[in-house]
Structure 1
Amino acid sequence: MMRRMFLGLTAALAAALAVGSAQAATVLRLSTQVAPPHPFLDMADYFKSEVEKQTNGEVQVKIFPNASLGKDDAVLNELKLGTIDLMISSTNNAAKQLPQFQIFDLYYIFPNYDSFNAATAPESPVFKRLQEIADSRGLGIKILALFGSGTRNLSVASKPVETLADIKGIKMRVPASQIVAKSWEALGTVPVTVAWPELYAAIQTGVAQGLESTLSGYLGSKLYEVAPNLVLTQHSINGSHFSMGERSWKKLTPEQQAIVQKVATEAGKLGTQKGIEADDKLAGVLEKEHGVTVTRPDLAPFVEAMKPLHDEFAEQIQATDLLELVRGMM
């Protein structure tokens, strides 16, 4: 009788401890705008797996893809409030809250991935300066990683593009970034601001006739269905950020913070690598499996149109110091 009571009490205690442990777990909600396949989701999956493993389940991550928690503007505000914990996105989608993020939107500013990786490394002066600016603007975010998720390229609905003159006058979809809009205006197009989740419909209905994106974003969102002419302009390495709300960060123990930061840094490196891999193979996949017409124009006219604008644009977004930091790392 006593043995049965003891065993019963032991089982009850074990169950109570299990419930308490589950209740103690911190669940982090991670938002991103994209659908698979995409480097952002490769990163999110890696981050979730490693954080949960390395914290022994004390910190759990729930991933919300395809803008299911809202557009980036709203998500950034939710990060500040602590109602969403993490986000992985392109820096140009944060242009309203952090205009200096648009330093990555200066087309052809980075000649290669080595220079880009040097500028976005956690210990780089560019990284540190961007965090200082975010703090001074009261955004309530901690930038965990800056990374690249592939080169951005032009896609057009109506016709193949062989030269810069071929895009003159087309309605070009741009995000809410003044620099991106002015860049495409300088290239001869008519910029039209459209949020990423609304892009497919905008091209389909003729609100916009062209777009620029990574190859992963182009494939994952099936934009090839409405803009089947891919132009490998490679005008920028897609500057991207992995950020966490300060309120959510402060909920973690110092040990958990160290793990989250370490894994996020690793995830950023993974995102950059996945972007490079996507650039290497996806143009061929799109051409062979989805009937996309791929052209490779002479990029010299594109580069020449952009370089004189770097200083002007940097001054407009109060990022002249960042531009000089980037140039100093070349």
Structure 2
Amino acid sequence: MNRREFSRGLMLAGPLLAAPGILRAAETSLRFAHYGAASDSVSAAATKFAELVAKKTGGALTVEVYGNGELGNSVTMLEGTRLGTIDMATTGNPYFTASLPVLNLLDLPFLFQSDAHAFAVLDGAVGEELMGRMADASLQGIAFWELGFRNLTNNVRPVKEPADVKGLKIRTTPNPAHVLAFETLGAAPTPMPFAEVYSALQTGAIDGQENPTNHIYANKLHEVQKYMSLTQHAYTTSPLVVNARRWSGLAPEHQAAMKEAALEAASFQRALNDEEDHTALEAMRAYGMQIEEAPDVDAFRAAVSDVTRAAYVGQFGSELIDQVDAAAAG
């Protein structure tokens, strides 16, 4: 009998394990789902998190990690976490915006000027405010992990300026800001689950996609893409969330330990992504991908930033955006 079968057997035992002095597996083991392949930094961060939780709780809490979409794609595993069929998950912020549209803020094109700016916002008052909104979707947010700054790839032509994007069928996330930005550029944005992207590129169902550099490489998208442009047009965070009911059932000291572990794993992942971005870029160049390192970023910003910000402000006001902008100056 393997570990997972044994764990399921314990949970099915029900009343037998409710006897005094016997800990139920449902109280001590958390199922953690994520999207990343084994080579993706989120897998390393999830492993680190599980190790830290076990250490900080003296083994009273254990985390079982299910990566590579094993428990469903980003949409279904997030819904499973909301419903409680999965204990916790991390996935890209764009997938949260269907149930928590205020989080669309974090996906606005050219919102963040640098990694440091993004981290100051996510680890500060704005991040705390947005984490607090997670309760509206039956979730408890405990840290902001990351994918990083997104770059554009395609199979049709090099992209140096906004006009080069016109007519391209680009896979995007379902985030409204991403879709609006590519519509504004004259592309045909095509949201689809990430697990379907490789085959869609391979068959020509779509022309291109946009993701952070190391994420593109870890998922081998360079094998089915000719051109890459370092547009860095949006930053994507990956909130780490727990089912709210499951969270409330944990002891306060275990909640504190999980938050500490989540933040330490976030720092670990951010450092790892910095290292991997350079090596991934060089590896894809060596593979034969044509990389445009200096696209006209100012022109892209001018083309999409105002329209996407206006759409957000029209729905949620300018207070949060103003705080983000102020963090850049600070």
Q: For the residues of structure 2 that align with 1:34 and 1:250, how far apart are their CA atoms?
A: 27
Per the normalisation by structure 1, the TM-score is 0.87
Q: For the residues of structure 2 that align with 1:80 and 1:254, how far apart are their CA atoms?
A: 21
Q: Does 1:84 align with 2:86?
A: yes
Q: For the residues of structure 2 that align with 1:66 and 1:308, how far apart are their CA atoms?
A: 36
**Contact (CA 8 Å) 1:72, 1:94: kept in 2 or not?**
no
Name 1:111's counterpart in structure 2: 113
* Equivalence map 1:67-82=2 (5 Å): 67-82=69-84
Deviations 1:264-305 (A, max 9, x none): 0111222222222222331111111x2222112222211211
Residue identity over aligned pairs, in percent, reads 27
Seen in structure 2, the aligned counterparts of structure 1 residues 317 and 89 have a Cα distance that, compared at 3 Å, is farther
Q: For the residues of structure 2 that align with 1:51 and 1:241, how far apart are their CA atoms?
A: 17
Other structure's SS at 2:89 match: strand
Name 2:6's counterpart in structure 1: none
Name 1:278's counterpart in structure 2: 276
Name 1:196's counterpart in structure 2: 194
Name 1:300's counterpart in structure 2: 298
Seen in structure 2, the aligned counterparts of structure 1 residues 183 and 24 have a Cα distance that, compared at 3 Å, is closer
* Equivalence map 1:1-330=2 (5 Å): 20=22, 23=25, 26-121=28-123, 124-135=124-135, 137=136, 139-288=137-286, 290-296=287-293, 297-318=295-316, 320-330=318-328
What amino acid is aligned across from residue 42 of structure 1 in structure 2? A
Seen in structure 2, the aligned counterparts of structure 1 residues 64 and 187 have a Cα distance that, compared at 3 Å, is same
Other structure's SS at 2:112 match: coil
Q: For the residues of structure 2 that align with 1:140 and 1:241, how far apart are their CA atoms?
A: 14
**Contact (CA 8 Å) 2:177, 2:308: kept in 1 or not?**
no
User: What do you get for the CA RMSD once the two structures are aligned?
Assistant: 2.0
**Contact (CA 8 Å) 1:150, 1:274: kept in 2 or not?**
no
Q: Post-superposition shift, 1:205?
A: 2.3
Moved over 3 A (4+): 19-25
- Matched pairs, number: 307
Seen in structure 2, the aligned counterparts of structure 1 residues 54 and 152 have a Cα distance that, compared at 3 Å, is same
Q: For the residues of structure 1 that align with 2:156 and 2:196, how far apart are their CA atoms?
A: 19
What amino acid is aligned across from residue 294 of structure 1 in structure 2? I
Name 1:5's counterpart in structure 2: none
Q: Post-superposition shift, 1:144?
A: 0.6
Gaps of at least 5 residues in structure 1 are 1-18
Per the normalisation by structure 2, the TM-score is 0.87
Q: Post-superposition shift, 1:162?
A: 3.1
Q: Post-superposition shift, 1:211?
A: 0.4
Q: Post-superposition shift, 1:25?
A: 6.4
